[in-house]
A and B are shown apart, each in its own frame.
Chain A
Amino acid sequence: MLKMKYRLLPVIIGLATLSSCKKEFLELNPPTSLTPSQALGSEGDLQVALRGVYSGLRNVDYYGRTFPILGDILSDNTYQSSQNTNRYTLFNNYSFNVTDGNVAGLWNAAYTVILRANNIINSELTASPGVNQYKGEAYALRALAYFDLVRYFARPYNDNPSALGVPIVTTYNPDLKPARNTVQEVYNQIKSDLTQAYSLMTQFTNSSQFSKYAARALEAKVLLTMGDYANAKTAALDVINNGGFSVVPAASYVSYWTNPAIETSKGETLLEVSSDAVNNLAFDALGYLYSQGGNYGDLLVSEELYALMETGDVRRNLYPTGNRPAGVPAIFVEKYPSIVGDRDDTKVLRMSEVYLIAAEASYRTGSEPDALMYLNYIRTRRNATPSTATGAALLDDIIEERRIELAFEGDRYHDLQRLMLPVSRSANYPSSARTIEYSNFRRVLPIPQGEIDANPNIRTQQNPGY
């Protein structure tokens, strides 16, 4: 006979089972994430989300590495050593195609920044100085991302404003399949965002975040790129006269580049993308491709660029000479030497460039004395002989000064684009890729295959030639 205690056991277990069958057993929340409404619920949350936008700039295919490198390797400043790790080879050779990983990475990273910025801009929190500042920075960040996209994936504004630009997305909707907007529409969006940014921002946090005058400097660059020289000059002078930033002098020029820390008070840097000892790209960082201190060091200074710098020019100190591979003379880039510990930040906007914008805008608007003044303001602070040129030669000097001052910061290619000039490269480059006419289809990047595959509305809008 079955003992009573054993008969009772199933009953006890049954009761225990029923009582354990609570609803909470199936309600498990993620430990390190929040829903969007929880994550963007207060002013403090908005500030945290804003840092997330900046961290998106550090992506390896954006300001982390690819964006600044393409600007110099697609032009005539840097070339790939024959001893290399196969990074950016196809850009050195002008043979990249629609499946290129760096191109897709750049597209994705910029739009990721745009999404993150959109969520802050579209926050419905009550306005306050803090909320305004964060929204202002988000507007400026969105403008920057669109400016970068439209310059790489479309022909320049002054070629044809009604040509295809890039899709404008200003609200979050995961099912959106946007077609490309025109270049004009993209620039309108950029300008409107920068106007908002300028009016909303009141604080300077440090050089790694947008401030009112950093947004104004970006506007000056945007206007210069569009060929709106009068307004470009106004914007640049607003920064020079009212911004409180200053150009780094010759004496501290080299230390300016060797110090990886951000600037906590206003100095040369209007905006840079921060990499520190913890949050960095390790051996995927920008410096790793230029510095000879690590395993890579693939990219070298073109002889032609080096020759433009006078012997006494303080900038020459950043470009030591040596051999790579053994027996082959080479010039190295030491602008990003901090490849361990706190890493180099990527400069986005500097006061020196604002002066050069003022110089070019002055020249274009018929004020050669102003142009010369702003140009030589920089040259004298680099221990370079002041220019005395006039007319077209003065413009050449200004463009050349941009090339020297902003070398390895990703700027040169965009100058050649807006000026619609051929890329003329020295014998450092492969013979098949020494002259790249403005009309060459690879002068704009392909819309990435992944976007074409996922977005039917952009499928017929690939850049010609790809």
Chain B
Amino acid sequence: MRKFLTLLLGVLLFSVQVLAQTRTITGKVTDANGVPISGASVQVKGTNVGTVTQEDGTFSLSVAPTARTLTISAVGQTAREVNIGTQTNFTVTLQAGGQQNLQEVVVVGYGTQKRADLTGAVATVKAADIENKPFTSVDKALQGQVAGLQSVAASGQPGSTQAILIRGVSSITASNAPLWVIDGIPINTGDASRLSTTSNLLSTLNPNDIESISVLKDAASQSIYGSRAANGVIVVTTKRGRAGKTRFRFDTEVGKSDIAYRNERYRPLNADEYFTITREGLVNLGLSAAQQNTTLTGLGLGNGVDFNWLDATTRRAGQQQYNLSAEGGNERTTFYISGGYFEQEGTTINSKLRRTSGNFRINHKVSERVNFGMNMNGGFVNQRAPLAGGAFGNPVLSSYFTLPSRNPYNADGSYNLNATSLGGLHNTIALSELDKRYLREFSLRGNIFVEIGILQGLNFRSSFSGDFNNLEEDQYNNPFHGDGQASNGRAFAYYTRYMNKVWTNTLRYNRALNQSGDFNLNAQIGYEAQKSSGYFSSLQSQGFPPTFRLTYPSAGATPITANATISDYSFVSQFASANFNYQNRFVVSGSFRRDGSSRFGGNNRYGNFWSVGASWNIDREGFMQGLDLFSQLKLRTSYGVNGNAGIGNYDWLPLYGYGANYNGQPGSIPTNVGDSSLTWELNKPFNVGIDFGILRNRINVTADFYTRKSEDLLLDVPLSRTTGFSTATRNIGAMKNTGFEFAINAIPVQNRNFNWIVDLNFATNKNEILSLPEGNDIIQGSFILREGESINSFYLRDYAGVDPANGDPLWYLTDDKSTTTNNYSSAARVIAGTSLPKYFGSFTNTFNYKGISLEAQLYYNYGNYVQDPWGGYYVGAGFGATYNKVARVLERWQKPGDVTDIPKYIANGNKSFQSGSTFYLAKGDFIRLRNIQLGYNLPKDFISKISLTNAFIYVRGTNLATWATDENLPWDPEQGTASQSNLNVFIPKTVTIGLNVGF
């Protein structure tokens, strides 16, 4: 570090001498509508002498007398070159367009860079691609937008978590979620709720407040974030104001949604079908006719009820959002302010989310060299999510388990709350109204900064940021029926708060190193301290008065839970980065970061992370000047080390925990094995990529190959249960991800009235586990970890179909599939594919004809398998005889000679057919019409009459069609990255109409 400072100082002194012979030019950059563009890059061509425009679009730059041409570029705009001559003041207008333009300015870690200077793999997403979508959080909107970024839903619950993997899974036990940095704050993300089935802190952020997203995919771009960069970094910048006349914008969208994917073979049986197959099951069980009749009567045979629970617990759901923003200001002060309202219903009854959000930013320029500003982004979410998985109160479970002969209503129309007459299951239709499950989530993300130009090219910035999340959860279970019955009613009130504070100080230096401007240095050093404090209080009481009206814990007679605790973590970091540029032809970059974290023991508390990168802009070479084919051509490569610290806050400590109470007196138990030498998991990404544009950038291609190796994995090593523990977290094992990413943007047709744009992205990833403790397999439920195999490999007994002679289920005895057995326990388990796709991506076509636009995006996913862990209950050959079944059981074996894959139906089950096997595994390949949108830009001359600057109306379909290759795929193919369904709220397809106006 000290050496670096000395170098920086030397550079400073050197550059001061250079200053003397320059002159100053000024100007202003605007977009096609005359709106000033802030943050645009203004640069002397062939040098690295340059600056960026202020909030009002103006710039001031000292240039050498030899300077001839200025290159001006900005995010989302096509770059322009302007002759300097003797002129000293310039007004430059940029036109929109230019996907992945090399002159584009890209937000990276702790700053911005021109794409031409990048040595790393950075993908960007524009505001237009995430605005006004019917998604509750921005992570859901990222699906298909970035090559190599896999975004998978697991639930259609509005506000649910979304799994994001960037370049595969690199950790077995620690988190695989990327680091989100919003306006410079490394924020807390994920599901912070403790009572709700699912939630997402990002759902408090209105995607309409986002200006740009950068996805950092390799060492050169990530390693500046050190120990939290291993899973990739997503850098979000919220919208900022531009100087000029105050501009308003209003956007709205309303629509309806329904279940996106249905498989008719997995529809629940009606009463006739159920009783027919159940009688068959009882006959096969050996019951006499009299016993069959009494049993079937007990199940409701002949009671005249044939109720469709699936129809009753699902619905066409509503969706709406409204966003209003204003921006403006003058040359010294700019502002942006917005407010939004978003409401979405789930396809399951009483599943809902409402969000109210606001964003505010103000920037003020004190003088040419000093400016400061602040921004505040907040959202309030009110969410209601039903139970999921095997809970009897889960409406999705009840729609498949509850018999059609069970009536949710009494003869007088009131709710049937008699457990016995519901077969022991819960009346979820009644409970969704009588019980309550609320989450109120409030987030505030704010930043205040000051930036001081100490010398020309040397800037100091100090920024203090906070990320505050507050969750209040209320649950009430009535005393009459359902989960509250056992305790005469119960109510919970949980409070969760995270306060995350970050202080960042950076010193940035950006200068030409010699007179001709051939050598340029862009460097910074920084210091960052972060502390996140979690605070949790939980209370529950039971024994409620016999009414549905008193729903808060105060009304309960017996206090059951009275808890409060905290959980904190802290990081202290020093970092530095440098980018050295020779004639814009060669760029080398390096970064270094030293992180200390409270999550690790004294022995291994600090870790060092770094990267090196290089790029070659071949199109700048003399020998390329004559070649018209390539408008851009760039090679880049990088390598480095970063880390993963995504484990529990106190996992390194051997612990005794409290709360194992007995007879109302305190009890303590060993809770954690601990490891005082526990430390960072390492990730070593290597990347090589090419960017090129041909035919005057009509075709732009970015291709990357990467391999990244994770070492010293933070791994929950399975222990013999005889030790009293099941796992211990250790640094052991290694894993590798290798992949190829490809993105193409082409404009096959472009003329004055019509253009056609094609975007295609494609990504492969191959995961391989390189080493495990002592080379031993680790089996985790349905998955195995085995050296040489991919993580998330399903390891199941291999189902061999039905014995045509007797209807027995068969499994392969050995993995060579030579012999079968009807004894489940003796069958061998085999690796049967992984839950992670071999490749995935999207294909988008956009057509613009005059004011009319049509956009269609297909998302595709190939090569994974999806498991249905609950299938044994509704497909199992008679297992769970008192629960309803799905249509697929009708294909069961009935007589010798029948060839089918569903065994003979025997009440209570046929030889462990219900237990996990490859039968309950389906191929996960699918193509989905993710987005289709038809829009019309109202003519300018018309809208100006009603004082509008622009107006756009559209109709949009989301997830409108899903094509799966496997006819046995029971549920939506998106089931998280583990690809295991869990009877969640169905993922919706949505049709919306929208309006965007500016005035």
Contacts and interface: CB of A to CB of B under 8 A. Distances in A.
A36 B671 CA distance: 10
B324 interface: no
Given A48-B667, A54-B662, A341-B558, A97 B915 contact: yes
Contacts of B547: none
Contact of A328 (B295, B424, B880): B295
A448 B672 CA distance: 22
B596 A26 contact: yes
A283 B663 contact: no
A169 B487 contact: no
Given A51-B663, A82-B298, A83-B423, A294 B486 contact: yes
A107 B724 CA distance: 10
B571 to A, nearest CB: 8
A392 interface: no
A32 to B, nearest CB: 5
Interface string A40-72: 100001001111111110100000000000000
A116 B650 contact: no
A33 B650 contact: yes
B454 A10 contact: yes
A276 B649 contact: no
Interface string B661-694: 1111111111111000000000000000000000
B245 interface: no
Nearest to B479: A340
A128 interface: no
B824 interface: yes
Contact of A51 (B297, B367, B542, B667): B667
B598 A282 contact: no
Contact of B909 (A89, A111, A274, A341): A89
Contacts of A325: 294-295, 297-299
A239 to B, nearest CB: 23
Contact of A93 (B369, B661, B671, B908): B908
B555 to A, nearest CB: 16
Given A6-B370, A295-B485, A466 B825 contact: yes
Contact of B505 (A13, A98, A453): A13
Contacts of A6: 366, 369-370, 452
Nearest to A288: B486
B658 interface: yes
Which applies to chain A's interface (DSSP): helix, strand, loop or mixed?
Answer: loop
A39 interface: yes
A173 B723 contact: yes
Contacts of B647: none
Contact of A32 (B565, B912, B916): B565
Contacts of A283: 483, 486
B46 interface: no
A176 B720 CA distance: 7
A333 to B, nearest CB: 16
B24 interface: no
Contact of B655 (A30, A85, A95, A112): A30
Contacts of A259: none
Given A49-B669, A84-B424, A328-B298, A35 B721 contact: no
Contacts of B671: 33
Interface string B791-828: 00000000000000000000000000000000011100
Given A30-B649, A283-B486, A97 B825 contact: yes
Nearest to B568: A28
Interface string B407-448: 000000000000110011010000000000000000000000
A450 interface: yes
A54 B662 CA distance: 7
Contact of A55 (B503, B669, B873): B669
B300 to A, nearest CB: 9
A111 B722 contact: yes
Which applies to chain B's interface (DSSP): helix, strand, loop or mixed?
Answer: mixed
Number of contact residues on B: which range applies?
35 or more
Nearest to A447: B721
Interface stretch (A14-22, A350-358, A383-391, A406-414): A14-22
Contacts of A176: 720, 722-723
Nearest to A342: B558
B535 to A, nearest CB: 10
Given A283-B486, A294-B485, A454-B721, A33 B655 contact: yes
A33 B658 contact: yes
Given A339-B486, A432-B286, A33 B825 contact: no
Given A82-B295, A97-B915, A177-B720, A282 B665 contact: no
Contact of B916 (A40, A99, A208): A99
A28 B718 contact: no
Interface in A231-289: 262, 274, 276-279, 282-283, 288
A278 to B, nearest CB: 5
Contacts of A40: 656
Interface string A121-151: 0000000000000000000000000000000
Nearest to B295: A82
Interface string A426-452: 000011100000000000001011110
A208 B663 contact: yes
B718 A453 contact: yes
A277 B777 contact: no
A327 B531 contact: no
A6 B725 CA distance: 58
B598 A328 contact: no
Given A26-B596, A55-B669, A83-B424, A295 B486 contact: yes
Contacts of B725: 115, 174
A196 interface: no
B668 A52 contact: yes
Contacts of B297: 325-327
A82 B294 CA distance: 10
B597 interface: yes
Interface string B477-488: 000000101111
Given A10-B460, A340-B488, A430-B285, A51 B661 contact: yes
Contacts of B851: none
A80 to B, nearest CB: 8
Contacts of A99: 915-916
Given A25-B572, A208-B662, A326 B298 contact: yes
B880 A30 contact: no
A52 B667 contact: yes
A167 interface: yes
B662 A279 contact: yes
Given A33-B657, A82-B298, A115-B724, A456 B776 contact: yes
A348 to B, nearest CB: 14
A295 B423 CA distance: 9
Contacts of B309: none
B882 interface: yes
B656 A86 contact: no
Contacts of A36: 654-656, 670
B462 to A, nearest CB: 5
* Interface pairs A-B: 8 shortest CB-CB: A325-B298, A115-B724, A39-B656, A51-B667, A52-B669, A51-B662, A52-B667, A431-B286
Interface of A: 2-3, 6-7, 9-10, 13-14, 17, 20-21, 25-36, 38-40, 45, 48-56, 58, 82-86, 89-90, 92-93, 95, 97-99, 104, 107-108, 111-112, 114-116, 118-119, 166-167, 169, 172-178, 206, 208, 262, 274, 276-279, 282-283, 288, 294-298, 324-328, 339-341, 430-432, 446, 448-451, 453-456, 458, 465-466
16 contacts: A13-B462, A26-B570, A26-B572, A26-B605, A30-B649, A48-B667, A51-B660, A51-B667, A52-B669, A86-B883, A93-B908, A115-B723, A169-B722, A295-B426, A326-B297, A453-B718
Given A3-B367, A82-B299, A119-B670, 19 more contacts: A6-B370, A14-B505, A17-B503, A29-B650, A53-B669, A54-B662, A56-B669, A82-B295, A95-B912, A111-B723, A111-B724, A115-B723, A172-B724, A298-B424, A324-B298, A325-B294, A325-B297, A450-B726, A455-B720
